[in-house]
Structure 1
Amino acid sequence: MLSNGGSGLGVSALCLGTMHFGTTVDERRAFAVLDRFTDAGGTFIDTANTYAFWVPGGTGAESEELLGRWLASRRARDRVVLATKVGALPDPPGAAWPQHAEGLADKVVRAQAVASMRRLGTDHLDVYYAHIEDRRTSLEDTVATFASLVTEGLTRVTGCSNHAAWRVAKAHEIARAAGLPGFSCVQQRHTYLRPRPGAEFGANPHISDELLDCAREEPDLTVLGYSVLLSGAYTRSDRPLPEQYDHANSRRRLEVLADVANELGATQNQVVLAWLLRGSPPVLPVLGVSSVSQLDECLGALDLELDDELRHRLDNA
């Protein structure tokens, strides 16, 4: 449940990420995944105004435009919870990123909200994220801008992504003191493996213990995780671990993960998803899949039970 401080927004237990839809995932495959996700009861769909500008020939509009076509062809807008993001698009196009990201100034956020709604074919967004930090704009101004979009009915709830824990906590303090609807969700890189100490992820950091603590203390703050399956590295021999996770502790955790998966008759990907969903705080995974078969594997995690003993082994590896 995502909350804006007054009403709740119910979402499915898994969120479908659409980063590569319209670029490296063609329309036929993307439509098939979207159809399967919604047929299985999925309602939460995630995109951004940047997906995927880094692909050769990409502008950042491709994912939203494809989703707009799918929503119109399936008449699905009222059946889904639609999330998109603002703040990370290179400005001007082709400029060095993230040094020249568009940022979170009021005029940028408002103009891009209108542009996203046009591409998606909707008159409102369900969730609107501040995609990456913008230290050039005061946090007070950012909170006020996003709150105004809620009060004006342009979005139902707001969130932030790729933000430091202290800024998430401070944003909550600012909103609470001003009586404004604050960020109700945070989306951050997260997975079962821990990054090695000092690992760098640039503008897309791994979730911190401090941010998880913040979510435990803020019952209205929902945590979402992206890159949860490490682009297939848990199960595919052709996908090596990202170097930030390639260290001794990962090898121990991978051994325990494989043992638990074998005991449950599940895949390691499914165990990772179940571990996230049933943690404290629970983390709602944003799935980055490119085929129906990959999606079906992920859906199997919803029926997976991790008892206290299995959870303890996974947590303490």
Structure 2
Amino acid sequence: MEYKRLGETELKAPPIIFGGNVFGWTVNEKESFGLLDQLFDMGINMIDTADSYSHWAPGNKGGESETIIGKWMKERGNRDKMLIATKVGSNPGKEGRDISKDYILKAAEDSLQRLQTDYIDLYFTHWDDDRTPVEETLKAYQILIDQGKVRYIGASNISIERLEASLKASRNKNLPKYEVSQPEYSLMQREKFEGKLQKICHENNMGVTSYFSLASGFLTGKYSTEEDIEGRDREKFLQEYFNEKGKEVLKALKDVSDHHNISQAAVALRWIMQRPGITAPIASATKPEHLKSFKEAIRTELSSDEMDLLNKVSS
């Protein structure tokens, strides 16, 4: 399995990073342990989570995903073999977002406790609050890095302007640099990464780990009509995809997947893996058999004609 360096860090990501948002939400603790065991055996040793996962599930407060991952690593004794990315700033269970110094320092301690670890490999600004000076946020990360509690930092869901200001502050004021960007990116959503953000990441040698890589499950092909998603956990994410573009993308995915005799999910993931500027996509699964598509994506190579087709229908 080929591992890719994340930006200018010493971290090397597997071809697909597992999205831990399902832990404590659509997958209980026992099921989560089973998935984590299988992923580890496959060589997928990087998990992406957040302090807010999975606060949206009934009865949850946030941090459930980190707690499950922490218990699993403790029981397996494999923390040193894992790469853990988590996030701060969404202020789970409360109104508003917060990336102030005091909030970050407190949230990091809480995440470390839940993860039962002394350090976080990659710590993301999850959501920007648009009011905290970028220097204040970066100084908080500097404290955590100096304490050995965070190795590297990344940025997700912050504006182009704030990202550029942060990178400038890093250069001019000797502050930590965002080494990884985490944008939404899939065959159904290309605009949030391609163009300006892609250029910034390239110019600043940033790694890129895309989320919603399967468009909340839409690209797996299991949802044919809007009726199929009624009452489902991901209904609010899926509604916008049922249009002409969505139909064309699903048809192209089916044609390519039939040719290779692999799943549509595998083709959707492989398309991202072969796109310029991407280090690795993030993808989730709720059942062990779903991980078959990960294996298929890793071993498959799409032709230039297949890539052109998928690029055309998704543009």
Q: Is the structural similarity TM-score above 0.5?
A: yes
In the other structure, the counterpart of 2:305 is: 309
Equivalent of residue 109 in structure 2, options 106, 111, 114? 114
Alignment check: 8 A CA contact 1:270 1:298 kept: yes
Query: What is the number of equivalent residue pairs in this alignment?
Result: 298
Q: Which residue of 2 aligns with 1:37?
A: 39
Q: How does 1:4-15 map to 2 (within 5 A)?
A: 7-15=9-17
Give deviations 1:118-155, integer Å, cap 9, x for gaps.
11111111011111011120112112222332233211
Does residue 218 (structure 1) correspond to residue 186 (structure 2)? The answer is no
Q: Does 1:51 align with 2:53?
A: yes
Q: Which amino acid aligns with 1:217?
A: E
| CA displacement 1:53-95 (0-9 Å, x = unmatched) | 11110010211111111011100101100111111024xx4x4
Task: State the 1:21 CA deviation.
Answer: 1.0
Q: Which of 267, 273, 282 does residue 271 from structure 1 map onto?
A: 267
Q: Which of 142, 145, 149 in structure 2 is aligned with 1:150?
A: 145
Give the C-alpha shift of residue 8 in structure 1. Answer: 1.8
Question: How many Å separate the matches in 2 of 1:56 and 1:289?
Answer: 20
Maintained 8 Å contact 1:17/1:45? yes
Who is 1:201 aligned against?
Answer: none
Q: Report the AA paired with residue 49 of structure 1.
A: D
Q: Distance in 2 between matches of 1:244 and 1:166?
A: 27
Comparing both structures, which one devotes a greater share of its residues to helix?
Answer: 2
Gaps of 5+ in 1: 198-205
CA distance in 2, matches of 1:87, 1:284: 23
Cα RMSD of the aligned pairs, angstroms, is 2.0
Deviation string for 1:178-209 (max 9, x for gaps)? 233301111122211237x9xxxxxxxx5453
Paired residue secondary structure (1:35): helix
The amino acid of 2:71's aligned partner reads R
Contact 1:194 1:250 in 2 (8 A): no
Matches within 5 A, 1:191-270: 191-194=186-189, 206-207=192-193, 209-219=195-205, 221-234=206-219, 235-237=221-223, 238-239=228-229, 242-270=238-266
Q: Which runs of 4+ in 1 moved over 4 A?
A: none
2:232 alignment partner in structure 1: none
Tell me the equivalent position of 1:26. 28
Give 1:200's aligned residue. Answer: none
* SS at 2:276 equivalent: coil
Contact 1:165 1:208 in 2 (8 A): no
Are 1:132 and 1:163, in contact at CA under 8 Å, matched by a contact in 2?
yes
Report if aligned partners of 2:188, 2:215 keep a CA contact under 8 Å in 1.
Answer: no
C-alpha deviation, 1:217, in angstroms: 2.4
- Give me the whole-angstrom Cα distance separating, in 1, the residues matched to 2:310 and 2:25: 36
Ranges in structure 2 where 5+ consecutive residues have no aligned partner: 230-234
Matching of residues 121-132 of structure 1 within 5 Å: 121-132=116-127
Distance 1:264 1:75 in 2: 38
Select between 227-236 and 24-33 the one with higher mean Cα deviation.
Answer: 227-236
Could you tell me which amino acid in structure 1 is paired with residue 311 of structure 2?
D
> Aligned equivalents of 2:273 and 2:39: distance in 1?
18
Q: Which moved more, 1:237-246 or 1:113-122?
A: 237-246
Compare 156-165 and 138-147 and name the one that shifted more.
138-147
Q: Kindly report which structure 2 residues correspond to 1:61-210, keeping only aligned pairs within 5 A, or say none.
A: 61-90=63-92, 93=93, 95-96=94-95, 100-101=96-97, 103-194=98-189, 206-207=192-193, 209-210=195-196
**What are the Cα deviations for residues 260-316 of structure 1, in whole angstroms up to 9, with x where unaligned?**
222222211111111111111125211121111112222220011012222122112
- 1:104 deviates by 0.6
Which deviates further from its counterpart, 210-219 or 73-82?
210-219
Q: Which moved more, 1:30-39 or 1:59-68?
A: 59-68
- Counterpart amino acid of 2:253? L
Contact 1:60–1:89 (Cα < 8 Å) also in 2: no
Q: 2:280 is matched with which residue: 277, 284, 294?
A: 284
Structure 1 counterpart of 2:216, which letter? S
